[in-house]
């Protein structure tokens, strides 16, 4: 597929938080509410499918649940710390601890169900 270029998911939209190695402690672990982190990469096809869903959920749950994305290529330390070996992986963090994770591209209804269970 010569000339094909994946969309640039770096532009985080709406209420979506851009997590990094530098801000993960303050923005994810110490947020004071349920935090949902989508671990993704630009080159990952399934990540491109999940990305817009995460962005929509961030708008929907804005102020109630902390939802964002972490680029695995740009933030290797957080990926190693949380043993992220496949993407997309979505971590659910509450009170500074990982309480659940989903690996792979899951439909929106699965993410909503998990958020509602944990928030």
Number of separate domains in the chain: 1
Question: CA gyration radius for the chain?
Answer: 13
pTM: 0.86
Whether 79 is a known active-site residue: answer: no
Question: 4 in a domain, yes or no?
Answer: no
Question: 42 in a domain, yes or no?
Answer: yes
> Tens digit of pLDDT for each residue in 1-19?
344 333 333 335 567 899 9
> Tens digit of pLDDT for each residue in 17-59?
999 999 999 999 999 999 999 999 999 999 999 999 999 999 9
Choose, from 37, 44, 72, 93, the residue flagged as catalytic: 44
Residue 24 maps to which CATH number? 3.40.30.10
Choose, from 36, 47, 93, 105, the residue flagged as catalytic: 47
CA proximity to 88, closest of 72, 68, 75: 72
């Amino acid at each position: 597929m010569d000339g094909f270029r994946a969309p640039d998911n770096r532009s985080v939209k709406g209420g979506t938080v851009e997590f990094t190695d530098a801000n993960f402690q303050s923005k994810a672990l110490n947020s004071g509410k349920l935090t949902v982190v989508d671990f993704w990469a630009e080159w990952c096809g399934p990540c491109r499918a999940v990305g817009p869903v995460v962005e929509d959920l961030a708008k929907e749950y804005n102020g109630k649940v902390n939802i964002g994305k972490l680029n695995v290529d740009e933030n290797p330390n957080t990926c190693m710390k949380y043993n992220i070996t496949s993407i997309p992986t979505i971590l659910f963090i509450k009170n500074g601890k990982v309480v659940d994770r989903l690996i792979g591209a899951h439909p929106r209804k699965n993410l909503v169900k998990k958020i509602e269970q944990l928030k």
